[in-house]
Amino acid sequence: MRIVLPKGSLERATLELFEAADLPVVRSSGVDYRATIDDPRVAEVRILRPQEIPVYVAEGLFDVGITGRDWIEETSSEVVSLGELRYSKATSNPIRMVVAVAGDSEITSASELPDGVRVSSEYPELTRRYFEKLGIRADVRLSYGASEAKVPDIADCVVEITETGRALRAAGLSIIDTVLVSYTEVIANPESYQDETKRHAMGQLMTLLDGTLEARDKVLLKLNVAAEQFDAVIGVLPSAKSPTVSQLAGGGFAVESVVEKRTINLVIPALKDAGATDLLEVPIAKIVH
Amino acid sequence: MRIVLPKGSLERATLELFEAADLPVVRSSGVDYRATIDDPRVAEVRILRPQEIPVYVAEGLFDVGITGRDWIEETSSEVVSLGELRYSKATSNPIRMVVAVAGDSEITSASELPDGVRVSSEYPELTRRYFEKLGIRADVRLSYGASEAKVPDIADCVVEITETGRALRAAGLSIIDTVLVSYTEVIANPESYQDETKRHAMGQLMTLLDGTLEARDKVLLKLNVAAEQFDAVIGVLPSAKSPTVSQLAGGGFAVESVVEKRTINLVIPALKDAGATDLLEVPIAKIVH
Amino acid sequence: MRIVLPKGSLERATLELFEAADLPVVRSSGVDYRATIDDPRVAEVRILRPQEIPVYVAEGLFDVGITGRDWIEETSSEVVSLGELRYSKATSNPIRMVVAVAGDSEITSASELPDGVRVSSEYPELTRRYFEKLGIRADVRLSYGASEAKVPDIADCVVEITETGRALRAAGLSIIDTVLVSYTEVIANPESYQDETKRHAMGQLMTLLDGTLEARDKVLLKLNVAAEQFDAVIGVLPSAKSPTVSQLAGGGFAVESVVEKRTINLVIPALKDAGATDLLEVPIAKIVH
Amino acid sequence: MRIVLPKGSLERATLELFEAADLPVVRSSGVDYRATIDDPRVAEVRILRPQEIPVYVAEGLFDVGITGRDWIEETSSEVVSLGELRYSKATSNPIRMVVAVAGDSEITSASELPDGVRVSSEYPELTRRYFEKLGIRADVRLSYGASEAKVPDIADCVVEITETGRALRAAGLSIIDTVLVSYTEVIANPESYQDETKRHAMGQLMTLLDGTLEARDKVLLKLNVAAEQFDAVIGVLPSAKSPTVSQLAGGGFAVESVVEKRTINLVIPALKDAGATDLLEVPIAKIVH
Amino acid sequence: MRIVLPKGSLERATLELFEAADLPVVRSSGVDYRATIDDPRVAEVRILRPQEIPVYVAEGLFDVGITGRDWIEETSSEVVSLGELRYSKATSNPIRMVVAVAGDSEITSASELPDGVRVSSEYPELTRRYFEKLGIRADVRLSYGASEAKVPDIADCVVEITETGRALRAAGLSIIDTVLVSYTEVIANPESYQDETKRHAMGQLMTLLDGTLEARDKVLLKLNVAAEQFDAVIGVLPSAKSPTVSQLAGGGFAVESVVEKRTINLVIPALKDAGATDLLEVPIAKIVH
Amino acid sequence: MRIVLPKGSLERATLELFEAADLPVVRSSGVDYRATIDDPRVAEVRILRPQEIPVYVAEGLFDVGITGRDWIEETSSEVVSLGELRYSKATSNPIRMVVAVAGDSEITSASELPDGVRVSSEYPELTRRYFEKLGIRADVRLSYGASEAKVPDIADCVVEITETGRALRAAGLSIIDTVLVSYTEVIANPESYQDETKRHAMGQLMTLLDGTLEARDKVLLKLNVAAEQFDAVIGVLPSAKSPTVSQLAGGGFAVESVVEKRTINLVIPALKDAGATDLLEVPIAKIVH
């Protein structure tokens, strides 16, 4: 597989994920856009702008790439999506692409925007298609950043991405529509995806990446329990997956179970109340079902 | 429960402890003294100066607070102590509040201080009570920091907190008495503590915090041992807690035990000498007995 | 044991290793070259320049020291090597000491260098012995750094250490010989090594250090497997060490095995293909066979 | 003169001012609250908390001190004010001490506050006197910072200092009165001020400090002008101070004048229009009239 | 005048220039793309991407803007150039926009590039016009950065800007043509430029900016000289501008002259040899002829 | 002239001095030990370790070098000293090379040291000559730094450089003799110094460097004075150099004089008292008598 990874804001999180997935990306000395992964399934690694990645994957210059849904749509690229990557609970908010106008505008929905409306956007193609679908003739201009600064004197509205809406609000804009919800995705070239060997390799890659991401939100809980309290304790354990139970040499059982971090604050006290002893929380680095 | 956490020097360690205890404190965007914990037992979180926390908890503005024993005493607040928090071996030194005079002074005990002695302290109330008990009329002045800089020309002695005594020594002062030994404590409003539901919730909170702190100084040791060496190996394991023993499919036993980090340097070589094989040290994130 | 650790470029990695080995080095307050380790086997710790360590260990001022092979050779010190320390895969490249000349020189092997050749080196003794052995009369000068900057106008060749050769290439030099390959080593005073108690303590020290270093490149893999797939799964596990197998209360087996990180990217997908379920990767802090 | 300078937020600006005034403050090695100024008029320099400085100067422990008007008032200290220090245009905003209530409160003036009002303030004495004058019985509590965080649940109003009001607004509070406007001031002990020698030295100190501060906002403008355009050019020069005019050997005049930086953008083009040539702007370090 | 300044790589140098020109740009609190200059000639200041500035100035949204020649050309904007800004000797290198191919390509001039050549560029319009003029049908693709990384597998050549050519050489590319040489320029809207008041204001703005930039490379030299050596000394002074000479009260002359910094190393020794005494070099902040 | 400048602790101050002297040192791109100065008198610039510079200058590899007196003595190099460089008042303390022993040693003078004394020093040659002169047989060992850490167990005394003696005192050592006082010096090859052209160029170089250093401690004072007060004002001006006096067109005199910064705090108030008006302090960049 030839793989292309995103340079810029997604770069650090992506490289840390591959490192944690035991697929460390080693940059070639001297040039920072070529790299290697020591894995027989990976022939080549490049680190390029996420804006350009969908086209390169669609054209077959690479078999697999990581980029945002926003750029896949902007470039209308024909690629296969292998799945989303939610780097962590803290940063896994999807990015929304929204239409926003001046806060004191009387317009409250995109369809009210008049013909000739001046639109500033870093996504001109997607924006054009959006307004075409609405039947509005828009004067779309390529923005090189900080589009929100242009309303109302330089543009009448913006089509911008936002995570929390804070920057838009701070600039005094109101969101009147959501064009797209965008996650980071792993995409594949359609032809490569038809190749059985490559598709198997892609599946294994996703196993490692997904297993690493899932482990970030979970821990391994170990506990001992006497025979009498066994059922009570098992009853308290979240049921998503059956726990691993082994008999102790001295009687009673050792139980191991993977639990979501965000429920630990309730599960541990409940287990203790139910009779579990010697509870241990052990961090895990990867989990594969 | 409404909880109040300490701003300032204890802030980072406290927030890291709650994060590690799977009770992450999320600050409200925009204001840095309001926060939330995603837990049904926690209704409200505020981050305020430790000096003011004992009064707020005593008055019932909060059910639970974290602050230092020094401020509980300075403010003579009636609160229930749920336990001390020793953030880590490195920083769990208690803080001592001491009386110090000029290094070349002839005074060697607090009782020798004369009436009218000028005392500089950030703890004026506690200092006044201290000297009253000694029967000395002291001229106590509120210090806004660096009290040690004021001896001998601006003050005759100081009542200051110190961890190692280094700052006092560097300023040429001698310690002549210890007024108080102060740890970070979790405190509760007495009335809230009478409420059964709240007291149960407080106990569960302490379970999570204590379990996290205890895990910082311990590790999980895993080892295999043949039947013949079993007793010898078990004999070497520190006896605080009985190890978890399970029989291996291929004969022999798998043993797991939690061991204090600071004894590992002796325990591992001893276990190996006794016949243990395949020793593994696994980090743990929480331990609840 | 009196121990001497290297100040400078190896300092941080060494102190981190001792910390991870549960032998934390606590610096004495005020002076940064004296320290202690809370261990009955360690009487004294000093942190000094690696250049001077071999002599001090050879003379018996210390029982054990950590330094580079290059300085052991430069100082012709008689010490016992207890083993090499490869701090991590990333930084465990050996350092090579090489002979380099101007890139446009016609000389391609050290033996072609003429009598009177001007040699710049931070290792003058080792360099002198090297040229004596070659039968070349060399004008060796002590370099205080950046020797490569001196060719060709200030020196005709350099004897320098290099990890990747990059600095030499950037300065336009060509390597024509390798004098030495140098690792970080733990060395002991020969007499101390004869003392049985001390030799035993040295062995235990190496057990802790080696166990910590080995754990950096490995993880614990836990998985469940039904009886039918057991052989297939075991067959896929790397065979270096037999896995720990215990029977589950509900049927099937729980398998634990230590696996090298750099093979995980292949092993986990293979195990899953063979029928393993509930694979967990758990980080480990120490491994002792 | 014994001088006491403020530690903390004013410290850096004060030390930079003294350095620029050619009165560099040299800290004593090892202790950071003692210093010296190499000047026969200065016997001793201490760096202490601004809160405590008014009292020390009033009591005669120091002849001269630098602190804020707010602390002079809080401590009701009897001192002589030698003048204000406006460190620079950017930071010379006075600090206002204001009364603020919850933004949604119906109270719009301090006199509407009810008896028993809970007031949080870092200036309890000043606050008590303020409410006494208003005839309101207030429950004043010493705040250790972030008072604005306490409204409305912990306090009903705050008496706080603010430069721009931004922090108060961000916390949702409304200012309903201004208690005090506070500048940084140079203060003197009244008795020392009666001493003629000391008063002369204080005057010279103020000459150097004021001359340095004034120079920060001004530049020296040099220009040449022919006899015919002389009157026109002089007419354009700001009239605050008569310019220095000297005749050039080759005819015409050389004119030098000190001009405020913030008018340069208009003065230079106007001077050029009026016939001035060879205009030069030269930075100045001190100006004394 | 409404002014638009460039955000990004030119931002800091531009704001520092305006500050030094006594036209400090004060950002509006909260938003970072609106600002003000306290000057009656300046009605509004915006800070926007240099790519968008030429269009906004051409359309009359702003009277004056600062941007690079490259973006003026890319956008084919009709604007009036008021002059170049060379921020300093160190950074006043013009930026060149060049055509570059793989270093091992046999193509040595742009005209040899074949039809269908894949070109990566951040300047697609300019690139298209360039190839049209050459009569080559080029497949031009918008690059989002690091174009040089795309040759030879993703693109056949790049049209990129470069200061020193180093990044291109490091990527193994060869420059085969220069499309454009680009400086930072002050541009004006053509209609605004016809307005006499505005043109006068623009001229005054350029006087302040140019006067500040010129002063960076010059110093004021002051010296005294006796009558006998006067001619010799004057003869040594660089002749670009006649020096200001005034007679000293005690005989002899005081001479002042502005001299380029880069000639000082020769001029000062020469002046001293010719008989000048009391030479002083004084820094200047602005110079207007 | 070929010039060699010191790498390391003196590097930054040296490069800043050359920059201020209008002799900016431009490093060659890619290599950090080659540089150029755009001056017809300077053919080549190298930046090398100060330890090696005396030898290279003595051997004629360079005409001029900058290094410390300590290394000139250690290497017994025959060079001509062109003068000392005192970079600034703050850092112009000479470095002293001292002999120090354990603080509790009974030895109070170097001559009391016994034969066989173990001496640790970074200056072995100079140390050997020193002890030879004293008639003491010393066991001198090359130290690679932190020599003070070696007393008393590894060495009996050290020969070390020190600026303030603080590090030695902190390590508990007592200074018993001063071997050498060392300044940074400009040195020349004796043969080059005989060459008249080169000696003239060296003199001009020193004029620029000395003129720059002298200007750091001085300022230009400008003032006006009426005829009646003229003598009084002139009488107050420090007499080192006669002031420049010119008659003002409007009567009275304009006086300019260079004054030492460290006397300004006394001179300005005195001048004002004597009747001077419109005092201005102007920074200067260079002064040549």
Handedness of CA C170, C100, C74, F114 (dihedral sign): negative
In chain E, residues with a C-beta closer than 8 Å to the C-beta of F220 are: 222, 280, 282
Confidence of residue A146 (pLDDT cuts 50, 70, 90): confident
Residues in chain E: 289
Torsional class of E14: left (φ above 0), alpha (ψ -120 to 50), beta (otherwise): alpha
| Mean local confidence (pLDDT), B127-146 | 94
Residue B165: is its pLDDT beyond 90? Answer: no
Q: What is the pLDDT of residue F160?
A: 93
What's the whole-number average pLDDT of chain E? 90
Reduce the secondary structure of chain B to three states and give it as a string: CEEEEECCCCHHHHHHHHHHCCCCEEECCCCCCEEEECCCCCCEEEEECCCCHHHHHHCCCCCEEEEEHHHHHHCCCCCEEEEECCCCCCCCCCEEEEEEEECCCCCCCHHHCCCCEEEEECCHHHHHHHHHHHCCCEEEEECCCCHHHHCCCCCCEEEEEECCCHHHHHCCEEEEEEEEEECEEEEECHHHHHCHHHHHHHHHHHHHHHHHHHHHCEEEEEEEECCCCHHHHHHHCCCCCCCEEEECCCCCEEEEEEEEHHHHHHHHHHHHHHCCEEEEEEECCEEEC
In chain D, residues with a C-beta closer than 8 Å to the C-beta of E256 are: 222, 254
Between C284 and B251, name the one with better pLDDT: C284
Interchain contact, A144 vs E61, CB within 8 Å: no
pLDDT tens readout for residues A188-244: 999 999 999 999 999 999 999 999 999 998 999 999 999 999 999 999 888 656 788
DSSP secondary structure string for all residues of E142-195:
E--S-GGGGTTTT-SEEEEEESSSHHHHHTTEEEEEEEEEE-EEEEE-HHHHHS
Cα–Cα–Cα angle for E258, E262, E267, rounded to 5 degrees: 65
| Mean local confidence (pLDDT), E107-120 | 94
Interchain contact, F247 vs E249, CB within 8 Å: yes
Confidence of residue E87 (pLDDT cuts 50, 70, 90): confident
pLDDT tens readout for residues E151-201: 888 999 999 999 878 788 878 899 999 999 999 999 999 999 999 999 999
Q: What is the pLDDT of residue E93?
A: 66
pLDDT tens readout for residues A40-53: 899 999 999 999 99
In chain F, residues with a C-beta closer than 8 Å to the C-beta of E219 are: 285
By Cβ distance, the residue of E61, E150, E171 closest to A153 is E61
Q: What is the pLDDT of residue E128?
A: 96
Interchain contact, E282 vs F287, CB within 8 Å: no
Torsional class of A39: left (φ above 0), alpha (ψ -120 to 50), beta (otherwise): beta
Amino acid at C285: A
| Mean local confidence (pLDDT), A161-167 | 83
Q: What are the tokens at E261?
A: 């910094």
Which chains neighbour D (Cβ–Cβ under 8 Å, 3 or more pairs)? B, E, F
Between B234 and E93, name the one with better pLDDT: B234
Q: What are the tokens at B129?
A: 């009570």
Which residue of F144, F168, F173 to mutate against C (max C Cβ within 10 Å)?
F144
In chain D, residues with a C-beta closer than 8 Å to the C-beta of F169 are: none
| Mean local confidence (pLDDT), E45-73 | 95
Residue E137: is its pLDDT beyond 60? Answer: yes
Confidence of residue B261 (pLDDT cuts 50, 70, 90): confident
By Cβ distance, the residue of F203, F204, F244 closest to E278 is F244
Residue E92: is its pLDDT beyond 60? Answer: no
| Mean local confidence (pLDDT), B45-62 | 95
C-alpha F149/C-alpha F152 separation (Å) is: 8
Reference C207, options C50, C21, C4, C75; nearest CA is C21
C-alpha B65/C-alpha B49 separation (Å) is: 11
Q: What b-and-e string marks burial along A116-128, b requiring 16 or more CB atoms within 10 Å of the CB?
A: ebbbbbbbbebbe
Q: What are the tokens at A127?
A: 């924006």
Q: What are the tokens at A70?
A: 């926003």
What's the whole-number average pLDDT of chain C? 90
The answer to whether chain B touches chain D by having 3 or more C-beta pairs less than 8 angstroms apart is yes
Residue B221: is its pLDDT beyond 90? Answer: yes
pLDDT tens readout for residues D7-45: 988 899 999 999 999 899 988 765 678 899 988 899 999
By Cβ distance, the residue of B254, B268, B269 closest to C246 is B254
Residue D188: is its pLDDT beyond 90? Answer: yes
Interchain contact, D61 vs B31, CB within 8 Å: no
- Whether the ω angle into residue A152 lies within 30 degrees of 0, i.e. cis, is yes
Residue A257: is its pLDDT beyond 60? Answer: yes
Residue C168: is its pLDDT beyond 90? Answer: no
Q: What are the tokens at F211?
A: 């003129």
C-alpha F201/C-alpha F204 separation (Å) is: 5
Lowest mean pLDDT among A207-216, B20-29, B237-246, F16-25: B237-246
In chain D, residues with a C-beta closer than 8 Å to the C-beta of F281 are: 211, 215, 284-287
Nearest chain A residue to E145 by CA: give it: A49
Confidence of residue C31 (pLDDT cuts 50, 70, 90): low
pLDDT tens readout for residues C117-139: 999 999 999 999 999 999 999 99
Can you state the angle between helices C196-216 and B261-274, rounded to 10 degrees? 110
Read off φ and ψ for residue D178, nearest 5 degrees: -110, 120
Across the beta sheet with D184-188, the strand order is D25-27, D34-37, D44-48, D2-6, D64-68, D184-188, D80-85
pLDDT tens readout for residues A62-99: 999 999 999 999 999 999 999 999 875 544 567 899 99
pLDDT tens readout for residues C210-222: 999 999 989 999 9
| Mean local confidence (pLDDT), E65-82 | 96
Which residue of F15, F22, F231 to mutate against E (max E Cβ within 10 Å)?
F22
Residue C182 near residue C96 (C-beta atoms within 8 A): yes
Q: What is the pLDDT of residue E175?
A: 94
What's the whole-number average pLDDT of chain B? 90
| Mean local confidence (pLDDT), B251-257 | 90
Can you state the angle between helices D11-20 and D196-216, rounded to 10 degrees? 100
Interchain contact, A204 vs C166, CB within 8 Å: no
Return the residue matching tokens 């797939």: C229
Give the long-range contacts of residues C144-150, CB within 8 A, separation 24 or more.
C144/F49, C144/F51, C144/F52, C145/F7, C145/F49, C146/F7, C146/F33, C146/F48, C146/F49, C147/C120, C147/C121, C147/C122, C148/C100, C148/C173, C149/F31, C149/F33, C149/F34, C149/F46, C149/F48, C150/C120, C150/F48
Residue E161 near residue E96 (C-beta atoms within 8 A): yes
pTM, to two decimals: 0.82
Can you state the angle between helices C261-274 and A196-216, rounded to 10 degrees? 110
What's the whole-number average pLDDT of chain D? 90
Reference A3, options A58, A34, A44; nearest CA is A44
C-alpha B79/C-alpha F49 separation (Å) is: 66
C-alpha A180/C-alpha D266 separation (Å) is: 52
Interchain contact, E208 vs D279, CB within 8 Å: no
By Cβ distance, the residue of D166, D269, D277 closest to E289 is D277
CA B132 from chain center: how many Å? 29
Lowest mean pLDDT among A24-38, A161-175, F140-154: A24-38
The answer to whether chain B touches chain F by having 3 or more C-beta pairs less than 8 angstroms apart is no
Quote the DSSP letter at residue E228: T
Highest mean pLDDT among B260-269, E23-32, F215-224: F215-224
Distance from CA of E72 to the nearest CA of D (A): 28
Q: What is the pLDDT of residue C240?
A: 54
Q: What is the pLDDT of residue F249?
A: 78
Percent pLDDT > 70 in chain D is: 96
Q: What is the pLDDT of residue A145?
A: 84
Nearest chain D residue to F247 by CA: give it: D246
Q: What is the pLDDT of residue A91?
A: 47
